[in-house]
Amino acid sequence: MKILTTIQDIKKYAADCKAQGKTIGLVPTMGALHEGHLTLMRAAREKCDIVIASVFVNPTQFGPNEDYDAYPRQFTADCEKLESVNVDAVFHPEPSEMYPEGYCTYVNVDGDITHKLCGAQRPGHFRGVATVVTKLINLARADEAFFGQKDAQQVTVIRRFVEDLNINVHINMVPIAREESGLARSSRNTYLSAEEKEAALVLSRSLKEAKTAFAQGETKVAALENIVKDEISKEPMASIDYVKAYAYPSLKPLTEVNEDTLLAIAVKIGKTRLIDNVILSA
């Protein structure tokens, strides 16, 4: 596996792959890789000739009181995992490589899809995501890019700017990878104590209850949201950031589940903010 650390490195690597007529799949990550990330790598491996992963903790998507400095960084272990799923190259730049002195250009998706859910809770977050993903797609000359359903709002935002800016890449959304307990896999799970990890099971449990109620005929959005809220409220270590359901992928408001619907939650367990979701198929 090639390790690429500069913009010139990745440009040359991508150009060489394209010259050989190969398709390129890109999996952007912030490292601290887990089975969820590796699921994305495998999906890319199945679909593309070349798989490029990025490991870059992107400073522009963190707010002033968020965990940028504390975010787990374990590049050596990440590389071992990438090699285990036959990734061809990893792009691991310094922030100064991506945002050199004088940098002043950002991609801002300024629409309703960025003003709710995580967008409402984390101002500026999606500007940082859209900017870095645009740069990574361009640098890797990606034909396909792969993201997880756990970040379903992010996938909608990325698909929006890819279409709006006529970027020639296909965006793939891969289902959520879960631990045996049901907990959605996340790099932030490493912050949780054993007791907090047990408490965090309330996220998947509450969504499962809503999904069961939906399967049994409950289609009112408010009722489904309340099922989730009521279950989370039973866990003393949990505090709710949001529990919301929207049409998916449009993220338009609904009162009734009469089309595919994203039921998304963000919950703090202690000091750690976790997200999870389920898509209800009408």
What are the pLDDT digits (tens) for 209-256? 999 999 999 999 999 999 999 999 999 999 999 999 999 999 999 999
- What is the structure's pLDDT at 277? 98
How far apart CA 188 and CA 274 sit, in angstroms, is 7
- DSSP code per residue over 81-143: HHHHTT--EEE---HHHHS-TT--------SGGGSSTHHHHSTTHHHHHHHHHHHHHHHHT-S
- What is the structure's pLDDT at 128? 98
Residue 136 has pLDDT above 90, yes or no: yes
Question: Tens digits of per-residue pLDDT, 33-71?
Answer: 999 999 999 999 999 999 999 999 999 999 998 999 999
Mean pLDDT, range 6-27, rounded to an integer: 98
Question: Tens digits of per-residue pLDDT, 140-191?
Answer: 999 999 999 999 999 999 999 999 999 999 999 999 999 999 999 999 999 9
Residue 282 has pLDDT above 90, yes or no: no
- The pTM score is 0.96
Contact assessment for residue 228 and residue 265, using Cβ atoms and an 8 Å cutoff: yes
- What is the structure's pLDDT at 1? 98
Catalytic residues: 37
Number of residues that make up the chain: 282
Contact assessment for residue 198 and residue 184, using Cβ atoms and an 8 Å cutoff: no
**Per-residue confidence at 84, pLDDT binned at 50, 70, 90?**
very high
Query: How high does pLDDT run on average in the chain?
Result: 97
- What is the structure's pLDDT at 246? 98
Q: Which residues pair with 55 in a beta bridge?
A: 29
Tokens 């409220």, residue located: 233
Q: Which residues pair with 170 in a beta bridge?
A: 144
Tokens 């209850």, residue located: 209
Residues 6+ apart with CB under 8 A from 174: 39, 40, 43, 146, 147, 148, 149
Q: Which residues of 65-74 are buried (b: 16+ CB within 10 A; e: fewer)?
A: eeebeebbee
